[in-house]
Amino acid sequence: MASETLGLLILLLSFIGAAYLFFVMILAVKQRGMIVWIGLLNIIIFIYTILFAPDLIRQYALSFNKVASGMGYTLISYMFMHANLLHITLNTFGLLFFGYNMEKEFGAAPTMMVYIVSGFMGGIVYILTSSPTNMVVGASAAIFGLMAYLTLTRPFKISPMPFLIPMPVALATVIYAILVIPVFLTGDLRQFGNVAQGAHLGGLLGGSLMAFGMNYAQALKGLIIVIIIAILVIILPPLFI
């Protein structure tokens, strides 16, 4: 009975999270800020590459070997390439949600700075922690950077991403980190499948560094809140088992 109730609660919260996500996306499109144009550019590039030039995806994807051979531009270009429809769809959702909130709070220029730097940092972490021949594409590292920036500067902002269940963005980030970092540190990345968690963690790092560089006082307070939340998330669940 308890498990059924919990399942129904999670399902209800997921519906609420999805509704909230689409509501914010509508607001973002209506605002037509810089982040919306970035999302539109990503979609146009995706449609063009899939229909007319699929080889461009591999050409502008990021890998250690490419950077080592002088193709450093792929540390930027990989952010604008996407592998399939699900990939571009999920990243567009995340971009519009976090990008809209970032742009509304801090403006277009800071949002773009965080986006690009986080994507770049995600690329660096990826090529340093993956096989030299492995390639990555997608805006997710940059999006995780926006999430990290909001985590440290607006920790109680409600976010339905990345779990669809609405919760404070600081809590969502902590849960994600607790789930991913221990496995990432073991070096056994097979259970992640094709998801480039190294790039995601690099994006979180990039967004966090940008938060401290651009809003040090707020970021420091946010970090304290994140640490407290992390301690509670680790300590409290065993007490109820």
Q: Where are the domains of the chain?
A: 2-239
- Rounded Cα distance between 135 and 128, Å, is 12
Q: What is the pLDDT of residue 194?
A: 60
Q: Among candidates 162, 142, 151, which has minimal Cα distance to 90?
A: 162
Residues in the chain: 241
- Rounded Cα distance between 160 and 158, Å, is 7
pTM, two decimals, is 0.92
- Rounded Cα distance between 107 and 19, Å, is 25
Q: What is the pLDDT of residue 181?
A: 83
Question: Which letter does DSSP use for residue 136 in this model?
Answer: B
pLDDT in tens, the chain (241 residues): 567 777 888 889 899 999 999 999 999 989 888 999 999 999 999 999 999 999 999 999 999 999 999 999 999 999 999 999 999 999 999 999 999 999 999 999 999 999 999 999 999 999 998 889 999 999 999 999 999 999 999 999 999 998 889 999 999 999 999 988 887 776 665 555 566 888 999 999 999 999 999 999 999 999 999 999 999 998 887 654 4
The dihedral through the CA atoms of 210, 183, 157, 141 has a sign that is positive
CATH fold of 2-239: Rhomboid-like fold (1.20.1540)
Q: What is the pLDDT of residue 221?
A: 97
Q: What is the pLDDT of residue 147?
A: 97
Strand partners, 106: none
- Confirm if 210 and 116 have CB atoms less than 8 A apart: no
Q: What is the pLDDT of residue 241?
A: 47
- Rounded Cα distance between 1 and 3, Å, is 5
Q: What is the pLDDT of residue 121?
A: 97
